[in-house]
Amino acid sequence: MGFCGALTIFAGYALSLYQIEWLWLAIAGFFINWFGDSLDGSLARWRRIERPNYGYFVDHSVDAVAKSSPYVVMTVPDRLRISPSGERAARKLRISE
């Protein structure tokens, strides 16, 4: 369920490139991701089927992939705009090297 929330966030950000209203989908995805991520360990403990080492590894691996998905979409040039002052600062830093 947590990973489905991450996919929802990814879809919301990707679709917002075409229409800004899709950002509401991304916001809903954050809540779904938070709820699903909180639920998985609690559910395993409630069912008494914990796997401390394996569960820890899988949880953190899936979280790493899920948490990086919004950044993939944000790197699309249409959403990542640098202000003119930021461009000047970047040019100045390149010259000073």
Q: How far apart are the first and last CA of the chain?
A: 47
What per-residue confidence (pLDDT) applies to 24? Answer: 93
pLDDT tens readout for residues 23-79? 899 899 989 988 887 777 777 778 887 777 777 777 778 778 777 777 777 666 555
Asked if the model's pLDDT at residue 80 lies above 60, the reply is no
What per-residue confidence (pLDDT) applies to 78? Answer: 59
What per-residue confidence (pLDDT) applies to 82? Answer: 57
What per-residue confidence (pLDDT) applies to 25? Answer: 93
**Would you call 55 exposed, middle or buried from its count of C-beta atoms within 10 A (0-12, 13-18, 19+)?**
middle
What per-residue confidence (pLDDT) applies to 57? Answer: 79
